[in-house]
Amino acid sequence: MIRETATGIFLVTIVLVSAIFLAKATSEDPKYNSATFESEPFVQTIAPRSIALTLAQYVSDEGKRVALLVEGYDEEIVTGVALVELGGTPSEDPFEALSSVDRTIFETDVFRQAKRTSVNVARLLPAGPSGVRHIGIGTNFPEHAEEANSDPVFHFPKFGAATPARTSVRAPENSLLDYEVELCMRFDRPIETIDDFDAAAKGVFLCGDFTDRIALIKLADPDNLDSGYGFSDSKSGPGYFPTGPFLVVPNDWSSFVDNVRMMTHLNAEPRQDARGREMTLDFRQLAEQSIADMSTERFFYRDAFYKLAPNGRIEADMTLMSGTSEGVIFTSPKRHDYIEIVIAYVLAGGPLSGKSLTDFGVDVFIENEIASGHFLQPGDVVDYQATYLGDIRVTVAQ
């Protein structure tokens, strides 16, 4: 009888172990989220002046900031006409420099005969504004919202200075650093009402957004991503806001953004590909949503709470971001993760371990993701590019 009982227990154990092994072995284990890609190859060009004016800034050998009206971009060389050559006023504000030029001059012999300047893209200043507070946007592309299991579009303050189109970002050891390509918009004036948005001159530029997924996993509320927790901490590291080489001022911002195509490549492998028209909320709607949520200090960042913007409006030195499309690295836990979490929890003593199953699961999941090695690693190169907006190249450093 004892022998039969022992045999039965042994067989049950074998069946359970086999079932667990089979369940783990057949569980999907994606290294990043898949994305759809357009069949046509991406072509990098400068917008015709009939569509938009393209600006870039650099510091001359004399230490003066120069604003260029860009005409060409060939490999790493940008060519254009300095606005001061056209009678423009020297200014560190690209909108002010542009507004000081009579645009009818672009169709005259004065413009055609003006001196052309060529600058390496690595010398160009960031297209992003000078401020260190910006408005980040979450789950504003439907496919990415599905990846993140989030329905509503939400916003959060992003802290940090814009970096240029040729830059680097650190990936500390045992980190989970993720990429995102985005479109960004800045304004020639503060935006306090939607009428201000409509009246403002608008500049569109390419930007990237890097995410510390460990901070996001530990701090964010997965059932309410708009809780105010997690996103500011996870998206505000040094170098987490690279910006493109060009500030593009469209004649019709809405149709321009709709047609912009943006892509991410990781080590030359395509990862993201989307058009601006895929945004759930356009920039006007994003501005309106943001303006309506300026009064409460509800956004947690580095052990303190902040308002979305310090002065209750989108300042001229702030950026309004678009959110990203599908194809980021982070994927939610899969069946094999849950199996490993339960097994580890039981082996650690279950409730006697001193941790809840959820807290224990977070630690196990993070350990598994680090061990997988599929997040950004030192030596990786992330390329962002967008129609008419140029490209960003970010080298990942230790």
Within 10 Å of residue 292's Cβ, how many Cβ atoms?
10
Question: Would you say 173 and 162 are in contact if contact means Cβ atoms under 8 Å apart?
Answer: no
Number of domains forming the structure of the chain: 2
CA distance 289 to 292: 5
pLDDT above 90 (res 66): yes
pLDDT above 90 (res 121): yes
Would 15 be classed as within a structural domain? no
Domain final residue pick, 93, 123, 153: 123
| Cα–Cα–Cα angle for 316, 320, 324, rounded to 5 degrees | 160
Q: Which of the pair, 360 or 246, is modelled with greater confidence?
A: 246
Question: Would you say 381 and 112 are in contact if contact means Cβ atoms under 8 Å apart?
Answer: no
Would 277 be classed as within a structural domain? yes
Please give the residue range of the domain that contains residue 286: 133-330+375-397
Mean local confidence (pLDDT), 63-90: 95
Please give the sequence-ordered ranges of beta strands (E in DSSP) within the chain, or none if there are none. 52-59, 65-74, 77-82, 117-120, 133-138, 154-159, 166-170, 177-178, 181-187, 202-208, 211-212, 247-250, 261-266, 269-275, 299-301, 304-306, 320-321, 381-386, 390-397
**Same domain, yes or no: 69 and 151:** no
DSSP H/E element including 15: helix 2-25
54 Cα distance to chain centroid: 22
pLDDT above 80 (res 353): no
Domain final residue pick, 100, 123, 146: 123
CA distance 140 to 282: 9
Domain final residue pick, 123, 152, 182: 123
pLDDT above 80 (res 124): yes
Mean local confidence (pLDDT), 350-358: 74
Nearest of 136, 138, 152, 141 to residue 326 by alpha carbon:
141
CA distance 124 to 345: 52
pLDDT above 90 (res 86): yes
Residue 76: exposure state from Cβ atoms within 10 A (0-12, 13-18, ≥19): middle
Would 360 be classed as within a structural domain? no
Torsion angle of the four alpha carbons 275, 278, 281, 284, in this order, in degrees rounded to the nearest 10: 30
Domain of 268, CATH number, reads 3.90.850.10
**Same domain, yes or no: 78 and 137:** no
Q: Torsions phi, psi of 158, nearest 5?
A: -110, 130
pLDDT above 60 (res 25): no
pLDDT above 80 (res 377): yes
Nearest of 216, 144, 146 to residue 176 by alpha carbon:
216
pLDDT tens string 270-322: 999 999 999 999 999 999 999 999 999 999 999 999 999 999 999 999 999 99
Would 211 be classed as within a structural domain? yes
**Same domain, yes or no: 79 and 182:** no
Half-sphere CA count of 243, side-chain side, radius 13 A: 28
Average pLDDT along the chain: 91
Per-residue pLDDT at 109: 94
Per-residue pLDDT at 225: 93
* List of residues 6+ apart from 303 with CB closer than 8 A: none
Would 213 be classed as within a structural domain? yes
Per-residue pLDDT at 340: 79
Mean local confidence (pLDDT), 33-43: 95
**Same domain, yes or no: 66 and 200:** no
Token digits of residue 20: 């667990």
**Same domain, yes or no: 159 and 108:** no
Name the pLDDT band for 149 (thresholds 50, 70, 90).
Answer: confident
Q: Torsions phi, psi of 138, nearest 5?
A: -115, 145
How far CA 146 is from CA of 140, 235, 247, 264, in Å, comes to 10, 20, 31, 19
Would 361 be classed as within a structural domain? no
**Same domain, yes or no: 91 and 224:** no
Concatenated DSSP letters for 364-379? Answer: HHHHHHHHHT-S--TT
Question: Would you say 210 and 219 are in contact if contact means Cβ atoms under 8 Å apart?
Answer: no
* Residue the block writes with tokens 């169709």: 107
**Same domain, yes or no: 90 and 188:** no
* List of residues 6+ apart from 394 with CB closer than 8 A: 167, 168, 169, 208, 239, 242, 381, 382, 383, 384
**Same domain, yes or no: 162 and 210:** yes
* List of residues 6+ apart from 254 with CB closer than 8 A: 282, 284
The answer to whether the Cα torsion of 7, 11, 12, 13 is positive or negative is: positive
**Same domain, yes or no: 238 and 282:** yes
Concatenated DSSP letters for 336-351? Answer: HHHHHHHHHHHHTTGG
Mean local confidence (pLDDT), 199-226: 96
